[in-house]
Amino acid sequence: KQEVTQIPAALSVPEGENLVLNCSFTDSAIYNLQWFRQDHGKGLTSLLLIQSSQREQTSGRLNASLDKSSGRSTLYIAASQPGDSATYLCAVARGDNYGQNFVFGPGTRLSVLP
Amino acid sequence: NAGVTQTPKFQVLKTGQSMTLQCAQDMNHEYMSWYRQDPGMGLRLIHYSVGAGITDQGEVPNGYNVSRSTTEDFPLRLLSAAPSQTSVYFCASSYSTRTSYEQYFGPGTRLTVT
C-alpha cells in the first residue's frame, strides 16, 4: 500500500528565506507526483506536476524535484513571501489498473512572517 | 470554463438523514473522484469514475454511493449520515491519459453531522 509522508509538519520562516519542503513515498511505481497549495478553509490549487519520466519542474519561484528510486520529492520555494503562507500537499498517482488514483500526504503548514 | 464546481458549500445534517453532494465539471474530463479531508489525515479517496457508467470504490467507500450518468456530473450520496462523516468533501477531475494525470479540484463542501 502506498504511503506518503511530508516533513516537516509545520514550518515558520521570516520573509525572504529560501525553503525546502519534503515528500516521501513508499512505492516507487508511480505515474506522477503533484504538489498542491491549500489556503485555510479553501480548496486545492495545483502548483506543479512531475511526470514519472521527469526529474524536476519549475514555475516562477517554485521548483519541484522527483527521485523515484529513493521515493522522494522536494518543493523548493525561493525568496518566500507572506502570501506563500498555506498548507502544501504532495500527492502521488498510483500505478494501478487505471493509474489515476492519488494518495496524499498530510501536508506541511507554512507560515512566512513579514 | 467554470472548472470543477461543487454544491452546497456548507451543509448541516442530523444523524440518519440522507443527502447528495453535487459535483460538475465542464472540461470534458473522463476521470472524476471524491475525497474527504479530515484533520491530521490528509485527503482520502472515497469513490472514483473513469467514465460515464463506470464507478469504483476508493479507500473509504462505506456509507457513500455514487453514479455517473453523464461525463459532466458525479454526485456523491450519503445514505444515512453519521457523525463520523463530518468532514470536508472535495471533488476532482482529470483526463484519463497514461502520460499526465493533473487533477483539478473543486472548492469543497463542508459537512457537519450532528
Helices (H) and strands (E) in chain B, counts: 0, 11
Query: For residue B83, how far is the Cα from the chain centroid?
Result: 18
Query: Who wins on pLDDT, B97 or A8?
Result: A8
One pLDDT digit (tens) per residue for chain A, 114 residues: 889 999 999 999 999 999 999 999 998 888 889 999 999 888 999 999 998 889 999 999 999 999 999 999 999 999 999 999 999 999 998 755 554 678 899 999 999 999
Q: Cα distance from A92 to chain B (closest Cα, Å)?
A: 10
* Residues of chain A found within 8 Å of residue B102, distances taken between Cβ atoms: 32, 34, 46, 49
The chain B residue lying nearest A93, using CA atoms, is B101
Residues belonging to chain B with any Cβ–Cβ distance to chain A shorter than 8 Å? 31, 33, 35, 40-45, 48, 50, 58, 90, 92, 94, 96, 98-108
* Partner-chain contact B101 A32, CB within 8 Å: yes
Cβ-nearest to A32 among B35, B40, B100: B100
A97 half-sphere exposure, CB direction, 13 A CA radius:
5
pLDDT at position B42: 82
Whether the CB of A69 is below 8 Å from some CB of chain B: the reply is no
Would you place residue B99 in the very low, low, confident or very high pLDDT band (cuts 50, 70, 90)?
low
pLDDT at B75 over 60: yes
Tell me which residue in A4, A100, A104 faces B31 most closely, judged by beta carbons: A100
For the stretch A48-55, contacts whose Cβ atoms lie closer than 8 Å and that sit 24 or more positions apart, written own/partner, are A48/A75, A49/B100, A49/B101, A49/B102, A51/B99, A51/B100
pLDDT at B98 over 60: no
Record: contact B42-A104, CB cut-off 8 A: yes
Average pLDDT over residues B14-42: 93
Please tell me the predicted confidence (pLDDT) of residue A41.
85
Distance (Å, whole) CA A90 – CA A37: 9
pLDDT confidence band for B96 (50 / 70 / 90): low
Interchain CB contacts (distance < 8 Å): A and B: 67
Q: What is chain B's mean pLDDT, rounded?
A: 92
What is the structure's pLDDT at B97?
56
Q: Give B89's strand partners.
A: B36, B109
pLDDT of residue A100: 60
Give the pLDDT of residue A58. Answer: 96
Q: Which tens digits make up the pLDDT trace of B30-55?
A: 889 999 999 877 899 999 998 899 99
What's the pLDDT at B37?
Answer: 95
User: Closest approach of chain B CAs to the CA of A38, in angstroms?
Assistant: 10
